[in-house]
């Protein structure tokens, strides 16, 4: 037996016991004739004591230990005189009588402590060492716990976990596929699933009724903090359900996760907002509702007073930052620079302060009488001390998105986006289609299998852009943690959908013939949802990037810098796959 206890469990109750521990040397401190070593494993850290007076040889040996050596020690647990209240084992130490060096370590490239001296790149290259750090390990523990709770909750609700294949053909979720060349079928390719969408629908045709799977999905997209080329979904599908059933079931799952993982009781039903209102009041289909600060449209009040920027605008809208009238000129200039950044693209920012006497002082006083400015104040029901911020633009959607960025920034500056406060929301009634100016065609906003609202089916021919979908997203603190829809289960309607999306009959048949065929054999009404597990964990753990809850993530260029992937392959492998690489001149 290598150890009797872990490095995280011994306390005063264990005093005088003889124990054996195994783990890594976190650090060593030498003090006249005494050497203290912190030994670490997954469970914690325990202080070891080597005393020159009682055993000079052993003390000598302990002085040879370097950081990250793997050791085994036996000794007696004693109460510490100098206690450390910050760790569970801080009241005891082990007076070591035997030391066995199990393995040496070269000096690690960064210190393996909570506050490390290693930058991002080096920690990713040596991710296996980074994973020894408490914070990173804690994130993975939370992830583990979440998957256990998901499985147990869904199992109790009669969901069955079924694995679906990874080598498939293209599943359209709006991103690029990763493709895999086939050796046995020269010139042909598999695609890695962007989601198990079609398979889970086929499982409903098979009668599985309630399916889920914690599953890797692959999308070849440009990367951001909340995106990885491979990520994990909690993918679910149910038969004989309406939208309401799905919302209730998965609200239940989310509440269960909050309770079991964060100890938070979310008793209220999740708020619901239509996509239309989300865009109107927040300029985003994933609004952060931890704080209010809804948009107010100001065309009626602000247009037509001779201020050229507003007079030519198609949209004028603003937000009211409570108590922010004290913002200095410098802070306001910084906000103006913020909205003018190319990523946001606003032309400028108009502000109006409500002063102590109720008068409004704005950056455009030249154009507006106090009477109009009072109307502006009323529109927000602003009080003395409040700051009104206004944006305008020629494109309604674009300007709303800019105002959304401003709202989030101001929310952060005012401390309204606390990581430990959670605001859960369903966004419902998404449009079925999204028009692409560039391609002059409709795309499915969610995916082509999403059902239109029955009352909007008639609009499919006359005004497809106005058709609403039975689609919903779960949004928590401005993060889209999940999304899904009620599906089309009628092959006629599905064919119509493909047509509207510009598929020829042959292409629809070629890509989705299997699904259309399956629908001919008694497809039940069905619908589902998929959560992004990585996003959910990072939200629960308060992380800035989903990378921090993935054991071996890719960097922003989609590379795994530890194993150096992607990489070249052997010419023989290429030959076998009938592939020739054309290098750009």
Name the site residues for ligand ASP (rule: CB under 6 A): 173, 195, 197, 483-485, 528-530
Q: Which is nearer to ligand ASP, 121 or 242 (CB)?
A: 242
State the minimum distance, in angstroms, from the CB of residue 238 to ligand ASP: 10
List strands edge to edge, sheet with 526-532: 160-161, 210-218, 230-239, 526-532, 479-486, 471-476, 424-428, 271-274
Instruction: Give CA separation, 553 vs 15, 226, 228, 533, in Å.
Output: 42, 12, 8, 14
348: number of Cβ within 10 Å:
12
Cα 104 to Cα 59: distance, rounded to the nearest angstrom: 17
Of 49 and 539, nearer to ligand ASP (C-beta) is 539
- What crossing angle do the helices spanning 491-500 and 505-519 adopt, rounded to 10°? 160
Query: Tokens 């979440």 appear where?
Result: 146
Q: Which is nearer to ligand ASP, 94 or 203 (CB)?
A: 203
Distance in Å, CB of 141 to ligand ASP, minimum:
26
Q: How far is the CB of 235 from ligand ASP (least distance, A)?
A: 7
> By C-beta, is 62 or 164 nearer to ligand ASP?
164
Rg of the chain (C-alpha set): 30
H or E stretch covering 391: strand 387-393
State the nearest-atom distance from the C-beta of 523 to ligand ASP, in Å.
16
CB of 486 to ligand ASP, least distance (A): 10
Q: Which is nearer to ligand ASP, 191 or 324 (CB)?
A: 191
Q: How far, in Å, CA of 169 to CA of 167, rounded?
A: 7
- Nearer to ligand ASP by Cβ, of 55 and 173: the residue is 173
The SS3 of residue 468 is strand
Report in angstroms how near the CB of residue 209 gets to ligand ASP at its nearest: 16
CA dist., res. 493 & res. 385, Å (int): 56
Residue 431 beta carbon to ligand ASP: minimum distance, rounded to whole angstroms? 15
Closer to ligand ASP by CB, 248 or 331: give it. 248
Ramachandran angles phi, psi of 378, nearest 5°: -60, -40
Give the residue with the Cβ less far from ligand ASP, 452 or 528. Answer: 528
CA distances from 363 to 105, 307, 332, 334, 367 (A): 63, 11, 10, 15, 10
Cβ atoms 139, 544 nearer than 8 A? no
Q: How far is the CB of 550 from ligand ASP (least distance, A)?
A: 18
State the minimum distance, in angstroms, from the CB of residue 130 to ligand ASP: 29
Cβ proximity of 147 and 233 under 8 Å: no
Minimum CB distance to ligand ASP smaller for 164 or for 485: 485
Residue 512: alpha-carbon gap to chain centroid: 30
Report the nearest approach of ligand ASP to the CB of residue 257 (Å). Answer: 18
Least separation, in Å, of the C-beta of 173 and ligand ASP? 5
Q: CA-to-CA distance for 393 and 377, rounded, in angstroms?
A: 21
- Which of residues 243 and 485 has its CB atom nearest to ligand ASP in the complex? 485
Distance, C-alpha 89 to centroid of its chain: 34
Name which of 229 and 484 has its Cβ closer to ligand ASP: 484
Q: Are 46 and 39 in contact (CB under 8 A)?
A: yes
Nearest-10 Cα torsion for 88, 89, 90, 92 = 150
């Amino acid at each position: 037996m290598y150890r009797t206890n872990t490095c995280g469990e011994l306390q005063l109750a264990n005093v005088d016991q003889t124990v054996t521990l195994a783990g890594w040397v976190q650090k060593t401190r030498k003090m006249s004739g005494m050497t203290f070593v912190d030994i670490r494993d997954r469970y914690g850290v325990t202080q070891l004591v080597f005393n020159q007076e009682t055993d000079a040889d052993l003390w000598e040996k302990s002085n040879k230990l370097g950081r990250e050596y793997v050791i085994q020690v036996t000794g007696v647990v004693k109460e510490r005189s100098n206690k450390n209240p910050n760790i569970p084992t801080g009241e005891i130490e082990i007076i070591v009588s035997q030391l066995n060096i199990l393995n040496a370590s070269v000096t690690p490239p960064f210190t393996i402590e909570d506050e490390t001296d290693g930058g991002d790149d080096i920690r990713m290259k040596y991710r296996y060492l980074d994973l020894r750090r408490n914070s990173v390990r804690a994130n993975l523990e939370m992830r583990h716990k979440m998957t256990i709770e998901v499985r147990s909750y869904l199992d109790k609700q009669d969901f069955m976990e079924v694995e679906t294949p990874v080598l498939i053909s293209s599943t359209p979720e709006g991103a690029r596929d990763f493709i895999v060349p086939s050796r046995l079928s020269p010139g042909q390719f598999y695609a890695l699933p962007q989601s198990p969408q079609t398979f889970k629908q086929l499982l409903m045709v098979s009668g599985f009724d309630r399916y889920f799977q914690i599953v890797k999905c692959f999308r070849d997209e440009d990367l951001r903090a909340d995106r990885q080329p491979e990520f994990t979904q909690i993918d679910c599908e149910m038969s004989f359900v309406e939208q309401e059933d799905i919302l209730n079931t998965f609200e239940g799952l989310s509440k269960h996760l909050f309770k079991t993982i964060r100890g938070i009781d979310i008793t209220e039903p999740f708020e619901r907002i239509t996509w239309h209102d989300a865009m109107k009041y927040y300029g985003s289909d994933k609004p952060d509702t931890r704080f209010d600060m809804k948009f107010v449209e100001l065309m009626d009040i602000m247009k037509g007073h001779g201020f050229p920027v507003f007079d030519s605008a198609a949209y004028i809208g603003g937000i009211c930052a409570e108590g922010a009238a004290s913002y200095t000129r410098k802070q306001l200039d910084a906000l103006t620079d913020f909205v003018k950044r190319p990523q946001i693209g606003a032309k400028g920012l108009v502000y109006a302060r409500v002063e102590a006497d109720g008068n409004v002082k704005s950056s455009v006083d030249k154009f507006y009488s106090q009477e109009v400015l009072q109307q502006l104040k009323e529109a927000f029901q602003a009080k003395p001390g409040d700051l009104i911020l206004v944006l305008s633009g020629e494109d309604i959607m674009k300007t709303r998105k800019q105002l959304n960025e401003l709202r989030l920034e101001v929310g952060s500056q005012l401390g309204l986006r606390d990581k430990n406060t959670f605001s859960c929301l369903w966004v419902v009634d998404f449009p079925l289609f999204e028009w692409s100016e560039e391609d002059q065609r409709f795309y499915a906003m969610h995916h082509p299998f999403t059902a239109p609202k029955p009352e909007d089916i008639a609009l499919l021919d006359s005004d497809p852009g106005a058709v609403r979908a039975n689609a919903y997203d779960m949004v928590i603190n401005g993060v889209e943690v999940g999304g899904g829809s009620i599906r089309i289960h009628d092959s006629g309607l599905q064919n119509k959908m493909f047509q509207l999306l510009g598929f020829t009959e042959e292409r629809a048949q070629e890509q989705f013939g299997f699904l259309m065929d399956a629908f001919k054999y008694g497809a039940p009404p069905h619908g589902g949802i998929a959560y992004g597990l990585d996003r959910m964990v990072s939200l629960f753990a308060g992380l800035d990037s989903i990378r921090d809850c993935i054991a071996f993530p890719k960097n922003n260029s989609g590379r795994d810098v530890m194993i150096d992937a992607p990489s070249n392959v052997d010419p023989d492998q290429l030959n076998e796959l009938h592939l020739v690489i054309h290098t750009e001149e």
